[in-house]
Amino acid sequence: MAAFNEDLVFKALYEAFPDPVIIIDAERIIRSANNAALRQFGYPAEEFIDRSVRLIYASDKEYEKRLRNRAARVDETAARTSNYLYVRRDGSTFSGHLRTTPLLDDQGEELALIGIIRDVSDLTEAMGERQKASDMLNAALEAMPEGFAIFDRQERLVVYNRAYQAICGPAGAALKPGITAEEILLLGRQGGHYPDALPGTREGDEWIASRLRDFRHPDGRPKIYRYAEDRWLRVENIKAKDGNTVVARVDVTDLKRAELALERQRQELEHKNEALDQFTATVSHDLKAPLRHISMFSEMIEDDLAAGDQAELAENARHLRDSVKRMNRVIDSLLDYAQIAHRISHWTKVRLADVVSETLTMLASDVQEAQATFEVGELPEVDGDPELLRRLVQNLIGNAIKYRHADRQPVIRIQGGVADQIVELVVEDNGIGIDPRFSTRIFEVFQRLHKDESVYGGTGIGLALAKRIAESHDGSIRLDTTFREGARFIVLLPRRLRKAN
């Protein structure tokens, strides 16, 4: 049996090794190459051996990269740091991963370097395609007008696009991978981004809690919320099979405003129909009464003239004129009531203090005649139509002056406040008061509790107008039936009106 020969074994492995193996000396000259190397680079041995290793690099840039890595002693067992572009004899190139092993002498000096090159062109191409696909996906996400984001199982942000960042408002600048959904909501709330989640309010806490519940346990139905400056957001949360949460945020302000406009038109139509019903009822009662008087006194005058009797002619003519005036007042009041819906057009910030001040100026003669005194407290701002709100306050103050008590000087108190974004306006007097049984009836058209117009004049439409104006502002008005020292009216109005543009 022949003796074991290590040189023969090494040579056999060297020549049979499937990847190119090249040995270079300290001067970077190729001293040896296996068959795989000659095949890969397309050179015969005599044109490859004893040539500078620069021969195999596709460009000076690639070669200089190799030299820098070598000088820096980069670990060339790591794929990313040791990939180079190589060139074959025919000019074609390929991407290869270089792994090197130094040959050292007894003193530790490097004598040569063994390099193994593995062709990774397919892998590089696949990675390039993957990167290309990733870039295309990122470009598509950035081009989307809708906000898009993905959160992991721990509710931490993983991916988001520019639209999502913009929709997050004050929280947008703080977005980064790892921030939680709750942190984003709280930052937005702190920055005033959510009108229905004002800091320091119980309603705001409940709103944030409901948003988090929907994020953690989505029911598959989109939700719509107010955000930013009178804008509306459609929110969709989808729980993926891997436990991640995919979220979509779409600004639906235009659609919501169109919906609100339709709703307002529907409400106005209801108000108009209500006014028409009131008109029908009035025609059958309040208009017919003066018409009957007109007809009756006209016949009496006609009879007197036919008989030549003028004794009661002047008195009957006076009654006829009074009936005509009464009918005119009823018609004017009814038109005034019916047209309120058409006048709701000019929305702005209204200082209720200014409204009260202007109303007192307009009623100065009545105030002086009644010797009324006023106690006016702090009054907030509210969204609304200043002219209509002035009419509302004028009716309430006018009633307080009109229905004063005969035995005491009238004192009228006006105060207001804000609670949970609802403005409260209270007008209170020490007059004759209103029986609580009629707390609803007094707001109906032409419903007078005092029939004698010589004592308390008017058509009985003032409080009906006040109610209509309050409702046109998405508010309400009521009589405080617990107040016994006169009459107290409470008007509630949303501080920020959800108007449809």
pLDDT bucket at 427, cuts 50 / 70 / 90:
very high
3-state helix, strand, coil in the chain (%, to 5): 45, 20, 30
> CB-based contacts of 324: which residues, under 8 Å, 6+ apart?
290, 294
Domain boundaries, the chain: 6-125, 144-251, 255-343, 345-501
Q: Rounded mean pLDDT of 262-286? A: 70
Note the pTM of the prediction, 2 decimals.
0.44
Among 79-83, 227-231, 473-477, name the one with the lowest average pLDDT.
Answer: 79-83
pLDDT tens digits, residue range 346-383? 678 889 999 999 888 888 888 888 888 999 999 999 98
Domain spanning 144-251, CATH architecture: 2-Layer Sandwich (3.30)
- CA distances to 93, 165, 184, 348, 462 from 173, in Å: 45, 8, 10, 32, 53
Among 153-157, 186-190, 210-214, 252-256, name the one with the lowest average pLDDT.
Answer: 252-256
Is residue 146 within 8 A of residue 250, CB to CB? The reply is: yes
**What rounded mean pLDDT belongs to the chain?**
82
Q: Both tokens of residue 262?
A: 């339709």
Pairwise CA distance, residues 463 & 447, whole Å: 9
pLDDT tens digits, residue range 165-179? 888 999 989 999 999
Q: Both tokens of residue 107?
A: 């003193």
φ, ψ for residue 490, nearest 5 deg: -120, 120
Query: What CATH code would you report for 345-501?
Result: 3.30.565.10
Alpha carbon of residue 403 to chain centroid:
47
pLDDT at 481 exceeding the cut of 70: yes
pLDDT bucket at 501, cuts 50 / 70 / 90:
very low
Instruction: Label residue 330 exposed, middle or buried (CB < 10 Å: 0-12, 13-18, 19+).
Output: buried
**CA-CA-CA-CA dihedral for 365, 368, 369, 374, to nearest 10:** 110
pLDDT tens digits, residue range 395-408? 888 888 888 888 88
pLDDT bucket at 500, cuts 50 / 70 / 90:
very low
Nearest partner of 93 among 130, 128, 41, 170, judged by Cα: 41
pLDDT tens digits, residue range 105-128? 888 788 888 889 988 887 766 666
Angle, vertex CA 66, rays to CA 62 and CA 71, nearest 5 = 145
Same fold, 144-251 and 255-343: no
pLDDT bucket at 102, cuts 50 / 70 / 90:
confident
Is residue 476 within 8 A of residue 463, CB to CB? The reply is: no
> CB-based contacts of 270: which residues, under 8 Å, 6+ apart?
none
* Top-tier CATH class for 255-343: mainly alpha
Q: Both tokens of residue 430?
A: 């020490």
Among 329-343, 392-406, 476-490, name the one with the lowest average pLDDT.
Answer: 329-343
Residue 396 corresponds to which amino acid? L
Pairwise CA distance, residues 219 & 170, whole Å: 28
Q: What is the pLDDT of residue 80?
A: 45
pLDDT bucket at 489, cuts 50 / 70 / 90:
very high
Pairwise CA distance, residues 298 & 262, whole Å: 50
| CATH fold of the domain at 6-125 | Beta-Lactamase (3.30.450)
Q: What is the pLDDT of residue 200?
A: 85
